[in-house]
């Protein structure tokens, strides 16, 4: 979650962008990434 928080609101090319936090592959770290993470996290429980 820290990784996602640090990169939140960034897109590819931004200094804080981290590809590892781009869970849905759209080159931006935003709500859809959080929802994708939550969905997969729920599948693991």
Which tens digit of pLDDT belongs to each residue from 3-32? 889 999 999 999 999 999 999 999 999 999
DSSP 1-45: -HHHHHHTT-BTTSTT--GGG-TTSSSB-SHHHHHHHHHHHHHH-
pLDDT for the residue 45? 62
* Residue range 35-45: mean pLDDT, rounded: 81
pTM of the model: 0.80
For residue 44, pLDDT over 80 is answered with no
pLDDT for the residue 12? 97
């Amino acid at each position: 979650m820290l990784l996602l928080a640090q990169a939140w609101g960034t897109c590819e090319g931004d200094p804080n962008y981290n590809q590892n936090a781009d869970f849905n592959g759209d080159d931006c770290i935003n709500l859809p990434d959080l929802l994708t993470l939550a969905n997969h996290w729920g599948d693991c429980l």
